[in-house]
Structure 1
Amino acid sequence: MDDAEAIRRVRAGDPDAFGVLVDRYGARIERLVRGFIRNEEDARDAVQDSFLKAFSRLDRFDGRSSFYTWLYRIAANTSMDHNKKVRRRPPALRLDPSRDEDDRGAVDPPAPGPSPVQGASGREIRGRIDEALDALPDAYREVLVLREIEGLSYDEITPSNLVKIDLDGNVVDGGEHEVNKAGYIIHSCVHRARPDVACVIHTHSRAGVAVSCLTEGLMPLNQEGLQFYGRIGYHDYEGIAVYAAEQARLVANLGRNDVMILRNHGLIATGRTISEAFRRIYYLEFACRLQLDVMASGRKFAPPPPEVCAHTLAQWDDGAAAIGTGNDEHTREWPALLRMLDRKDPNWRA
């Protein structure tokens, strides 16, 4: 029995058909919940609550996403609500004589299920992870490498099912899914070499890849693209980026630039915040699309003279575009973009 048939039967008055969905997705939801809630008993309660909510709200399921995606969001929200309540509780009295006062910062052993320290015999491995994270600046203590998750379509990916790894590629949280090795190779070396960078966005858009295949790369043709004038790194294609030896060349070719074109591959944009990196990748992509449109016209180009390009670059830095200055790590339109996402899908934050 597939999901649609099980849902149809439940709606028709056969509550036992819901058991098919519980059997099918119970283990996956349990792994999800335990990624949020480390206490085993609380996690079991949250799993049960999630399925009860799904059953009672089944009439609200409209089929625009898969049933699992809908259930996933219910479970994630239930888990986060639980954690909010726990944080508001007064701390419990510690009765563990095995820890002294100097050991307050140790990490409690996780519940069974995917975790970075699963199977560890003691505090040593947990201590190494904490030590590595504590050595990073506060803004990067928990480096998030946002990668496409194996086995999920884009509309199923949410913040709660991303995989969190450290700079050495060790899974810190969300170990149910594999980490894209090429993504790790590219993103991690930028984070390691550029402490000013909190977000790296890498795309394989049609326009971006097309421009990456041109000898001249991105040309100074339009106002939006001139914010990158003289500030684009280029990295020659070496094959799928799965070898650590390529990292040094990636870093060298990026230099102090904020964006880079990977030849025959795609685009990279960096930022001090997610909003800043998004703004850069958005305008870099826009400039690539416009260049291809101009080239498709078959007419002679009319690029601005170098002095005008440099002047426009300075204007971007000074904030003349009215979207923030070169010294402003926040993007003015970012809150509006988040509101737009809320209108399109209120559950995207799950």
Structure 2
Amino acid sequence: MAITRLTQRKCKAIGFYILSWVIFTLSASALLTYGAGNGFDSTRMLFMLQLSLLTGLSHAIYDVMILQDEMDKRPVVAALLIRSWFFIASICANLTLCILIWDIDKSEGLINEAALQHVLNVFKQPKTHILIFELFMLGNLITFVRSVHKKFGTRVFMNTLLGKNQDPKEEDLIFMFIDMKHSTEIAEELGHVKYSNFIRDYYRLLSNCCEENHGEIYQIAGDGVFLTWKTSDCKRAARPLDCFYDFAECLERTAYKFKKRYGIVPAFKAAAHCGKVISTEVGNFGSEMAYHGDVLNTTSRIQTLCSKLGQDFLISEDLFLRLPLPLPHGFLSVKAGFFELRGKKNGILIFSLHMPLT
């Protein structure tokens, strides 16, 4: 049985938490041991490795399995208090388990009076209190890093850390513009507050599909959003088409939830194009990534043809020629014709893509 992209995403998130805990904990432990002039203490490092693995797994279970790797919807104060109590409880529980395992007596088993007394004595020591506080702060740091990583995406996050976005550079990218159908009518029917919740749930599903297909959200403008992929990453897998298909399937699976809560099921149309753009980081305070080039304008203008032609998915010839064949998910391609787009001297050939009827 094949592993779904949702499962892969969750496994990657769990791996992120565990690996982060191991790296940060062992690095800090090694530095503290070196600073104290005690040299390399293999026993201490093995103990901290065990503790970091257990605590990282606990952290991952809370964020990925309980919160579903999404924003905590509870009030901020309540969410912080619950997370703080969880960190303290899991650190203390995992620390207790590690001490019991290291002091295990084969004749008396894991838990016995002497072992429990030793645990109590360890927790009375000031250095244990300091360790718990350090691990508590580390847990919050890892949570913050994960939040920033989710906000900006893997590529932008790593490029920002390495300073690669400071100077403009040319990139060959695929852009897909997804627009919600009948958004104005939906907004008028639901009202501002309910529509805001509606579009939040809509974008939550879209962002998950984008992440699972290794894409990035470049820009959200009202009811429209630009997704992007590196062209080189789509030579073997038509990721924009995968994302379109997955999002359509996701909306179909959750249609009853939207219908029950809002009385409306969202639908969308999309257009995709590729080409060279200039990418750079703009702004000082509140800076963000910006892409400059004709590709984005062309993509949005192709998308406006969807309503005119009565199609849900249009792509340019440039992109079609770069996609691996056969197209995934049984997509059928039809030449929609040559069109002169505003701002373009020459017309471009547009293809319409159709999902198979089920």
TM-score category of the 2 structures, normalised to the smaller one: under 0.3
Q: TM-score by structure 2 length?
A: 0.21
Higher strand share: 2
Q: Highest Rg: 1 or 2?
A: 2
Q: TM-score by structure 1 length?
A: 0.22
